Amino acid sequence: MLDDLREVLAVGDLSWQDGANCKGANADLFFPERGASTRTAKSICRECGVREACLEFAITTGEKFGIWGGMSERERRRVRRERQVAAVRKVS
């Protein structure tokens, strides 16, 4: 648990969260039950000025739950895989 906290704190400046459209919104929208709609959360994200920072935070920290930066965990996993493939190609 302490290592997880250190990892999150190592991410750096989290002040972007202050400008998030979801600030103060019902967290259940962003952490829906399995199979529940994510449409409302993603629509809030779509109009958010800190969407990219939010998404990058979730990808960098390996966030496994919820909608972050307008993407589900499945969508974020795909982005991480694409980045890994691109990094391997760049090295080759």
pLDDT (tens digit, 9 = 90+) per residue, 31-81?
A: 999 899 999 999 999 999 999 999 999 999 999 999 999 999 999 999 999
Structure tokens at 41: 């959360």
Neighbours of 42 (CB within 10 A): 17
What's the whole-model pTM score?
Answer: 0.81
More confident residue, 3 or 88: 88
Q: Are 20 and 50 in contact (CB under 8 A)?
A: yes
Into how many domains does the chain fold?
1
Q: 66: closest CA among 42, 83, 92, 82?
A: 42
Q: Please, which pLDDT band fits residue 1 given cuts at 50, 70 and 90?
A: very low
What DSSP letter does each residue of 20-81 carry, written as one string?
Answer: -TTTTS-GGGTSPPTT---HHHHHHHHT-TTHHHHHHHHHHHT--SS-BTTB-HHHHHHHHH
Domain span at residue 49 reads 2-91
Q: Please, which pLDDT band fits residue 2 given cuts at 50, 70 and 90?
A: very low
